[in-house]
Structure 1
Amino acid sequence: MRIVPVAAVAAVVLAGLSSGVAHAESAPGCGPVTQIGATAYINGTSSSAWASVKQFKGCGKNWSYVYVWDSFVDRVGDFQIATWVETTTMNGYVKAPRNQQAVWSKGTDTLSVCTRAAGSMVDFVSNPDYAHTVKTEKRC
């Protein structure tokens, strides 16, 4: 009888992981926010990336978010990330302290215009003079 509840829980977890849409996360000073658009990846695809870049909406604002994957942190360990919401300019720019694994942009009053999330990462081990930068697709 225990197999059915375990299977049911596993099905729900797998469905949530494969849906392609992030569950609500919490932006600083806002609380739950919802991902809009697809995730972009710094240095490759979802299977080889160093970090993820996402755009969210919530509390009447847009937010961008960068998360450095554990596999990159464990392997390289010396990096710096930044993120912002892009319209025709950089909005809400935040640069994380060196080796901080995640960073949120400031919330931006840009829901009425087309935006995208942008994120950059400097790998101080392999090339300290170059920032790998990616952007999500534009959302209007």
Structure 2
Amino acid sequence: MKKLSAAVLAAAAIAMTFTGTAQAEYNPKCKTGVTQIGSTTYLKKGAETVASLKQFKGCNKNWAYVYVWDSWMAKHKETFHIRVAIWTSTGSEAADYAGVDGRTQEAWSNGANTLKYCTYAAGNVFSQNYSVHDSTDVRC
């Protein structure tokens, strides 16, 4: 009976791992919470993933977010920089822009009052040795 109970508990734990609801990243600039819109874009250097780039909505704003992967940070010890922005699909400049310097693992934009526009998030992670950048899909 104990073996069966342990097996059932192990199976339940595995099932929760694969079917549990993912929690959104915590945005310190939007205390009521944010919801991801659109799909995640992966910033890559060759076959290696450097960071994830996402767009969120919350607090009546659009937000861009970059998270540098642990595996990249473990292999690359140099100082790097993150730049993140929200762009409107018709704009010629970023509606919202922010950046962090030094081995900081994540960056949030400042929040753009662009919920009534089609927008996308753009992100860049760079150092003296590399630069990777991309953008998410446009969300209206």
Unaligned runs of 5+ in 1: none
Aligned partner of 2:19: which letter?
A
Q: How many residue pairs get matched?
A: 131
Unaligned runs of 5+ in 2: none
What's the counterpart of residue 48 of structure 2? 48
Question: 2: distance between equivalents of 1:97 and 1:136?
Answer: 22
What's the counterpart of residue 13 of structure 2? 9
What's the counterpart of residue 86 of structure 2? 85
TM-score after normalising by structure 1: 0.83
Q: Percent identity?
A: 40
TM-score after normalising by structure 2: 0.83
Q: How far 1:58 sits from its partner (Å)?
A: 1.0
Question: 1: distance between equivalents of 2:86 and 2:53?
Answer: 11
**Over the residues paired in the alignment, what is the CA RMSD in angstroms?**
2.0
Q: Secondary structure at the match of 1:119?
A: strand
Aligned partner of 1:33: which letter?
V
Q: How far 1:44 sits from its partner (Å)?
A: 5.4
Question: 1: distance between equivalents of 2:45 and 2:114?
Answer: 28
Question: 2: distance between equivalents of 1:9 and 1:108?
Answer: 39
Q: How far 1:66 sits from its partner (Å)?
A: 0.4
Q: Does 1:110 align with 2:114?
A: yes
**Deviation sequence 1:8-56 (CA, Å, 0-9, x none):** 2221211248xxxx532221231321111111111259x7311110001
Contact 1:84 1:105 in 2 (8 A): yes
Aligned partner of 1:62: which letter?
N
Contact 1:23 1:35 in 2 (8 A): no
Question: 1: distance between equivalents of 2:121 and 2:70?
Answer: 21
